[in-house]
């Protein structure tokens, strides 16, 4: 293929290299698995730059989910529970998975059911926002559960917020007209 995108046809390698040198460009093999291989006359530096830009854009569009961790104790105060629940909600709304750990010390190990109740209460309080990915399990002195955001619920929240901002923007615009 030529520099302007037109097809030249099947050409000997030496002839293609000569044509590329005349135009002060490079001969780049774009489809080596084809028979015969497809080459193109182009500026290779510009080609690499454009390819890198496309890959960077593709990486931006990928959703990266991180794993956040929050730790509770079996005898947590109601206010502390509410605060930590707010952190979990914020993590989930940002699209992250959350590892919830209940830490037991000393004689608390005899009452692991208290930790299980806290985890069940957290899932119940979060409702539709959460999907339990790994059920609670005991690992030594810790009880661990992994939860992830419910994508359908997050999409609904995003639409609702967009609608609210649209209404607020319309109200502000009508106030300016007075």
Q: Do 132 and 76 lie in a common domain?
A: yes
Q: What span, in angstroms and rounded, lies between the C-alpha atoms of 104 and 111?
A: 9
Q: What span, in angstroms and rounded, lies between the C-alpha atoms of 162 and 1?
A: 47
Q: Do 128 and 76 lie in a common domain?
A: yes
Residue 172 lies in a domain: no
Q: Do 94 and 27 lie in a common domain?
A: no
Coil, strand or helix at 96: coil
Residue 4 lies in a domain: no
State the total domains in the chain: 2
Mean pLDDT of 7-16: 79
What pLDDT digit, counting tens, does each position of 66-112 carry?
788 899 888 888 899 899 999 988 888 887 888 999 998 888 888 88
pLDDT averaged over the chain? 81
Number of other CB atoms surrounding residue 24 within 10 Å = 8
Residue 170 lies in a domain: no
Decide which of 61, 81, 98 is a domain's last residue. 61
Q: What span, in angstroms and rounded, lies between the C-alpha atoms of 12 and 154?
A: 57
What pLDDT digit, counting tens, does each position of 123-160 carry?
888 888 888 888 888 888 888 999 888 877 767 777 77
Q: Do 117 and 73 lie in a common domain?
A: yes
Q: What is residue 170's predicted lDDT score, i.e. its pLDDT?
A: 59
Burial of 81 (0-12, 13-18, 19+ CB in 10 A): middle
173 pLDDT exceeds 70?
no
Which of 34, 42, 37 lies closest to 3, judged by CA?
42
40 pLDDT exceeds 70?
yes
Mean pLDDT of 36-42: 80
If one compares 58 and 157, the residue with the highest pLDDT of the two is: 58
Q: What is residue 167's predicted lDDT score, i.e. its pLDDT?
A: 65
Residue 158 lies in a domain: no
What range defines the domain where residue 118 resides? 67-152
Q: What span, in angstroms and rounded, lies between the C-alpha atoms of 169 and 175?
A: 10
Q: What is residue 175's predicted lDDT score, i.e. its pLDDT?
A: 57
- The DSSP 8-state label assigned to residue 50 in this structure reads H
65 pLDDT exceeds 60?
yes
172 pLDDT exceeds 70?
no
Coil, strand or helix at 27: strand
């Amino acid at each position: 293929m030529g520099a302007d995108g037109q097809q030249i046809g099947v050409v000997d390698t030496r002839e293609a290299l000569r044509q590329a040198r005349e135009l002060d460009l490079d001969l780049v093999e774009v489809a080596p698995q084809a028979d015969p291989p497809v080459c193109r006359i182009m500026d290779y530096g510009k080609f690499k730059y454009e390819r890198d830009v496309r890959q960077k854009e593709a990486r931006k569009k990928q959703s990266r989910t991180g794993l956040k961790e929050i730790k509770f104790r079996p005898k947590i105060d109601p206010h502390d529970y509410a605060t930590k629940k707010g952190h979990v909600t914020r993590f989930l709304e940002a699209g992250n998975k959350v590892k919830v750990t209940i830490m037991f010390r000393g004689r608390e190990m005899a009452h692991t059911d208290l930790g299980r109740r806290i985890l069940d209460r957290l899932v119940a309080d979060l409702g539709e926002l959460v999907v339990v990915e790994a059920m609670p399990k005991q690992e030594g002195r810790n009880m661990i559960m992994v939860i992830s955001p419910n994508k359908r619920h997050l999409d609904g929240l995003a639409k609702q917020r967009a609608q609210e901002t649209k209404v607020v923007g319309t109200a502000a615009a009508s106030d300016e007209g007075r």
